[in-house]
A and B are shown apart, each in its own frame.
Chain A
Amino acid sequence: MAYIDGIEVDAVLSRRGFLGAAGVLVVSWALPLPAAGAAASAGAASFPLTIAPGMLDSWLAVLPDGSVIASVGKIEAGMGIGTSFAQIIADELDVPFDKVQVRMGDTATTVDQRGTGSSNGIISAGPILRKAGAEARHALIGMAALRLGAPAGQLVASDGVVSVIGEPERRVSYGELIGGKRFEIQLSGKVESKPPAQFKLVGKPVPRIDIPAKVTGAYPYLVDHKVPGMLHGRVIRPPEAGAHLLSVAPGQKFPGLVKIVTEGDFVGVVCCREEQAIACARDLRLSWSRPPAMFSASYDALYEKLRSSAPKASKRELNEGDVDAAMAGAAKVVEARYDYPFQSHACMAPACALADVKADGATVWMGGQKPYGLRKAIAGLLGQQAERVRVVWMAGPGSYGMNDADDAAIDAALLSHAVGQPVRLQYSRADGIAWDPKGPPVTTRMRGALDGAGKVLAYDLEARGYSGRIRPSGTDSPGDALSVQLMGGANANSTDLFQYSEENYRFSNKRKTSHLVAWEHSLPTGLRTAHLRDPDGMAMCFASECFIDEMAHAAARDPVEFRLAHLVEGRDYSVVAAAAQKAGWQARTTPAGKRAGVVRGRGIAYAPRSGTMVALVAEVEVNMDSGKMRVTRFVVAHDCGFVVNPMSLAGTIEANLIQAMSRAMYEQVEFTPTRVTSVDWTSYPIVEMADIPDRIDIEIVNNRPDARSLGAGEPSTRPVAAAISNALFDATGVRIRRVPFTAAALRAAFSAA
């Protein structure tokens, strides 16, 4: 049996044959369970409420054949972190790399590490896996000492075998020592993990363990999962935001229809075959009320509303020096406003989930990032104890925060509960793009002051937008989910997420203020706001780093030189210098005045994010008549400390840059006053092969074994919109202060300038 990302791949053997008695689930929960699919029968099974993080068995198990199963409370969102985890374990435990399997995101068998988010996979799971590996190796050597009759100091572990130094024939394998049994020891925290000099795999460019199965079609995605007796479900969302379901036309017949489920404004259908459910959802005749308009008439109107509405909450994150006095006395004052729209996760496929709800328990297979919280929500939804509910993460399309995956899990559970059979549900493309939670819009006023020598005296940021946690970043209670909101009467755990830039410039007068406008009423709609990759990060960096560029220009200083002059020598300074150097940056100020025709330019932006530092140079080519632009080259300097896998890091950085470029160039969720009109790839375009740069050059900075390993993905996204806008200014002489940089928007900006 082979596992990839914790899921059994070899489906030749009968899954039922692995099930065993319910007792297996309770007693041996720390041992590799049969494939999640096999253990589908939630029946009378009970799952641990918590997997004790202090026990070694919660993290590692060794099988009789010497395979090692690492259990981690994270998920694989698509960037290859499972491979990095395997490298860490293989090195620490001294086992062959291909003997390590990583199991993730199953609430019955993995520690609740809050799932995936904040680009913190390596930060939060790396150290504990290293500790567990060291502890296990120490325990195994201790067992071998007894077995071989030699002191531990005379033993060496290598490739899953412990032997006496100098007497290799006196040996015993890990599988022989413990295979299939539990360690039953606590993590003491006293066993030293290996120094970097002994790393064999960590730090090396190890190819990802999941890619071969992905290119042959063997990789088990959530959408491929089947359970016996499963039916197919689809949902029908209201035609307008806030519309109420009035009636379902009676007597409607559809091939294979099992049930129509309605409650409040929630509508779902269950059919025998998938295409039947799709046709039924498409053709079902319903009647809805006409609600009052909830959304603005246009983006201009939206930004104006954000600027003029009395906020429901305001916060001042920072107030250093005296910004107002500095502005009053300054030689030069600069002011500009930047706008950033709603954006969609628009995942490669709309979300899927499979739920098997029984009277006394439930198992739900889902693709979201936060299975542990979702378990509580599903238990609450079904009126069951959490011990009866198992949530099993399986790989979906790439996940970029709080997307539609948890909503699909809740919907599958609702429908399975209604029909008493397992239900597989997948959203339509429109359910995905129009109805997924959105990254929030923000309009930011930047003001700054310069002295006569071109030095910054003051920096003042004031943002107005919606909280990106109206729809919470996990699903811990039923009310956090869309359908439960549609059903009516539930509370969501909404919180205020204030919007600020993150930077380390040394300005003596600095102030950052965030105003949040009320948006809770959006919860049952497609414009409810939630975490989208680097929440608010790219939007606020767009405002801040474009403004830094505007101040540099007002001071008649080169953008790189200007930034370096205001950053203290250190990691921020180093990434900016490294990116500029790698890009062959020629210092100059952009000549004043608008240009014409096909023009080229370059721009820089820098951003820290939770300790990681990124500086990005973008080179662009623009046709000022058509408004079409292309990034021809990216140069990025990236400091995330010690790199576990430089090969997968490069892939992660490239993909983040391209996705962020797509958001900067193309993406804004379109709407009318009553509905979201971005429903597919033509109404929500994203980059294609024709858009991609000719090259991306990556400079990894500060990759030293003693530098703490930090997050990589979201930091790479953050400076992209600003770098492109700054390059557009350099190329055209026109400032673009609103995302996205569509051809129509650029043409309008060039005409207006």
Chain B
Amino acid sequence: MSAAIKLTVNGKSQQVAAAADTPLLYVLRNDIGASGPRFGCGLAQCGACTVQVDGAPVRSCVTPVAAVGGKHIITLVGLAATAPAGAALHPVQQAFIDEQATQCGYCINGWIMTSAALLKQNPHATDAELREGLAGLKCRCGSHMSILRAVKRAARQLAQV
């Protein structure tokens, strides 16, 4: 039974017709066309589907769309707009480019959205806190070394702001 559901995605109001228990991931990708979050497992085990809901990282593959009505959802393409004024990209995105922190890049949405939220909440996170905050995310290609370098680089950047 589908219903009309109102969402705010990347600052824009959207209305979709979907069953209330439809995972947010499919509504974002198929109804709204926000393709940043991707399907990795559907079990909240990998992070590929991560979006920010009211600033917190959320696994959209297990979040029913009805649960996010009236909340502010940011996906990867909307992250740059949340960057400190004047920056074309969010510092985390720029850091991932500077450190060449992807192999296939399929997982990178999860790492970027999670670390951006993490650093917003805790701009002076220690290395240990960063590693802990990134627990549970998967990168099958094995880019972890460059990903950690990128997150640390972004942390240094944001700590200066």
Measured CB to CB, the residues of A under 8 A from B are: 77-80, 207-208, 210-212, 214-219, 221, 223-224, 255, 273-275, 278, 346-350, 395-399, 426, 428-429, 647-648, 651-652, 654-662, 680-682, 686-693, 696
Bound-state Cα–Cα, A229 to B107, Å: 28
Docked complex Cα distance between A223 and B48 (Å): 12
Give 30 CB contacts A-B under 8 Å.
Answer: A78-B106, A79-B103, A80-B103, A207-B100, A211-B96, A211-B97, A211-B101, A214-B102, A215-B93, A217-B36, A217-B75, A224-B29, A274-B26, A349-B48, A395-B104, A398-B140, A429-B40, A429-B42, A654-B142, A655-B143, A659-B140, A680-B45, A681-B46, A681-B138, A682-B45, A686-B140, A688-B136, A688-B144, A690-B132, A693-B145
Max chain B CB contacts within 10 Å: which of A79, A218, A273? A273
Nearest neighbor of B31 in chain A, beta-carbon distance: A273
For B45, list chain A residues within 8 Å (CB): 429, 680-682
Cβ of A349 and Cβ of B145 under 8 Å apart? Answer: no
Structural contact, A429 and B77, CB atoms closer than 8 A: no
Do A275 and B19 have beta carbons less than 8 Å apart?
A: yes
Closest 6 CB pairs of A and B: A78-B104, A658-B142, A214-B105, A398-B104, A659-B142, A217-B76
Residues of B within 8 Å of A348, CB to CB, are: 40, 46, 48, 104, 106-107, 138-141
Q: Are A692 and B106 neighbours in the complex by a CB distance under 8 Å? A: no
B106-A349 in contact (CB<8A)? yes
B35 proximity list for chain A (CB < 8 A): 217, 221, 223-224
Least Cβ–Cβ distance between A352 and chain B, in angstroms = 8
* Chain A residues closer than 8 Å to B87, beta-carbon distance: none
Q: Which of B46, B89, B136, B144 contacts A216 (CB 8 A)?
A: B89
Complex Cα spacing A689 to B151, Å: 12
Give A554 to B109 CA distance when docked, in angstroms: 50
B46: chain A residues within 8 A (beta carbon): 348, 681
Whether B43 pairs with A658 at a CB distance below 8 angstroms is: no
Contact A655 B134, beta carbon cutoff 8 Å: no
Tell me, in angstroms, the Cα distance from A275 to B28 when the chains sit together: 12
Say yes or no for B155: interface residue by CB 8 A criterion. no
Min Cβ gap B91→A in Å is 11
Closest to A219 in B: B105
Q: How far is the CA of A388 from the CA of B98 in the complex (A)?
A: 44
B residues 114-158 near A (Cβ < 8 Å) are 131-132, 134-148
Give the distance in Å from the alpha carbon of A271 to the alpha carbon of B137 in the complex: 31
Q: Give A224 to B102 CA distance when docked, in angstroms.
A: 18
Taken residue by residue from 41 to 83, chain B's Cβ proximity to chain A (1 for < 8 Å, 0 otherwise) reads as: 1110110100000000000000000000000000111001000
A274–B141 touching, CB < 8 Å: no
Once A215-B102, A428-B42, A680-B41 are accepted as A-B contacts, the answer to whether A274 and B30 lie under 8 Å apart by CB is yes
Q: Which residues of A contact B30 (CB under 8 A)?
A: 273-274
Point out the residues of chain A lying under 8 angstroms from B100, CB to CB: 207-208, 211, 647-648, 651
B105 and A211 within 8 A (CB): yes
Of residues A659, A660, A691, which shows the largest number of chain B Cβ atoms within 10 Å of its Cβ?
A659
CB distance from B11 to the nearest CB of A (A): 15
Closest to A654 in B: B145
Q: Determine if B26 and A275 form an interchain contact, defined as CB atoms under 8 angstroms apart.
A: yes
Contacts of B76 in A (CB 8 A): 216-217
CA distance A648 to B108 in the complex (A): 17
Chain B nearest CB: distance from A30 CB in Å? 29
Assembly CA distance A289 to B140 (angstroms): 35
Inter-chain CA distance A214–B89, complex, in Å, is: 13
What is the CA–CA distance of A278 and B43 in the complex, to the nearest angstrom? 13
| A651–B39 CA distance with the chains assembled, in angstroms | 25
**Distance of A650 from chain B, by nearest CB (Å):** 8
B48: chain A residues at CB < 8 Å are: 348-349
* B window 12-28: CB within 8 A of A: 18-19, 22-23, 26
Closest-by-CB residue of A relative to B151 is A689
Give the Cβ gap from B65 to chain A, nearest Cβ, in Å.
10
State A652–B146 Cα separation when bound (angstroms): 11
Q: Tally inter-chain residue pairs, CB-CB below 8 A.
A: 166
B106 touches A651 (CB 8 A): no
User: Would A223 and B39 be within 8 Å (CB), given that A348-B46, A659-B142, A690-B135 are in contact?
Assistant: yes
The complex places the Cα of A513 from the Cα of B114 at a distance, in Å, of: 50
Of B80, B112, B144, B146, chain A has the most CB atoms within 10 Å of the CB of B144
Q: Are B105 and A689 in contact (CB under 8 A)?
A: no
In angstroms, how far is the closest chain A Cβ from the Cβ of B150? 9
Q: Residues of B contacting A80 with CB < 8 Å?
A: 103
B112's nearest neighbour on chain A, judged by CB, is A215
- Contact size range, B: 35 or more
Q: CB-CB < 8 A to B131: which residues of A?
A: 689-690
Q: A349-B40, A398-B106 are in contact. Are A659 and B77 (CB under 8 A)?
A: no
Does B106 contact A396, Cβ atoms closer than 8 Å? yes
What's the minimum C-beta distance from B57 to chain A, rounded to whole angstroms?
A: 15
User: Please, which residues of chain B bring their CB within 8 A of the CB of A255?
Assistant: 19
Given A207-B97, A690-B135, are A223 and B38 neighbors across the interface (CB < 8 Å)? yes
**Chain A residues within 8 Å of B139, by CB:** 348
Query: Chain A residues with Cβ under 8 A from B23's Cβ?
Result: 275
Known: A216-B76, A216-B93, A350-B39. 19 other contacts (CB 8 A): A210-B105, A211-B97, A255-B19, A274-B30, A275-B23, A348-B106, A348-B140, A349-B38, A395-B104, A397-B104, A397-B140, A398-B103, A398-B140, A398-B141, A428-B42, A429-B42, A659-B142, A681-B43, A688-B137
With CB as the reference atom, state the residue of chain B lying closest to A688. B135
A34 to chain B, nearest CB (A): 20
**Hey, which chain A residues are within 8 Å of B102, CB to CB?**
211, 214-215
A80 to B101, CA, bound (A): 12
Closest chain A residue, CB of each to CB of B109: A217
Residues of chain B with a CB closer than 8 A to A659's CB:
140-142
Q: How far is the CB of B126 from chain A (nearest CB, A)?
A: 14
Instruction: Report whether A78 and B77 are in contact in the complex, using a CB–CB cutoff of 8 Å.
Output: no
Chain B residues positioned under 8 Å from A274 (CB to CB): 26, 29-30
- The answer on a CB contact under 8 Å between A397 and B106 is yes
B-side contacts of A221, CB under 8 Å = 35, 38, 106
Nearest CB on A from B17, distance (A): 10
B96 near A347: Cβ-Cβ < 8 Å = no
Complex interface: chain B residues within 8 A of A215 (CB): 89, 93, 96-97, 102, 105, 108, 112
Pair A349/B39 contact, Cβ less than 8 Å:
yes
Instruction: Say yes or no: A218 contacts B77, CB within 8 Å.
Output: yes
Whether the pair A696, B145 counts as a contact (CB closer than 8 A) is: yes
Distance between A593 CB and nearest chain B CB, rounded to angstroms: 35
**Across the interface, do A651 and B26 meet the contact criterion of CB distance under 8 Å?**
no
* Distance A655 CA – B100 CA, assembled complex (angstroms): 12
Do B77 and A216 touch across chains, with their CB atoms under 8 A apart?
yes
Contact indicator B77/A692 (Cβ below 8 Å)? no
- Shortest C-beta distance, B101 to chain A (Å), equals 8
CB neighbours of B103 from chain A (8 A): 78-80, 398, 651-652, 655
Distance of A122 Cα from B130 Cα, bound (Å): 37
Q: Inside 8 A of B135's CB, which chain A residues have their CB?
A: 688-690
Complex Cα gap A736–B141 (Å): 26
Q: Assuming A207-B97, A215-B108, is B138 touching A688 (CB within 8 A)?
A: yes
Please measure, in the bound complex, the distance between the C-alpha atom of A398 and the C-alpha atom of B138, giving whole angstroms: 13
C-alpha spacing A349/B43, complex, angstroms: 12
B160 CB → nearest A CB, Å: 21
Q: A658–B97 contact, CB under 8 A?
A: no
Q: B129 to chain A: closest CB distance in Å?
A: 12
Residues of B close to A651: CB separation below 8 A: 100, 103, 143, 146
Contact B77 A658 (CB under 8 A): no
Q: Which residues of A are found within 8 Å of B107, using beta-carbon distances?
A: 348, 397
Residue of A nearest to B46 (CB): A681
Task: Report which of B29, B137, B148 forms a contact with A692, defined as CB distance below 8 A.
Answer: B148
What residue in chain A is nearest B1 (Cβ atoms)?
A255
Point out the residues of chain B lying under 8 angstroms from A211, CB to CB: 96-97, 100-102, 105
A441 to chain B, nearest CB (A): 21
A752 to B126 CA separation, bound complex (whole angstroms): 40
Among A350, A652, A688, the most chain B Cβ lie within 10 Å of the Cβ of A688
Cβ-closest chain B residue relative to A232: B30
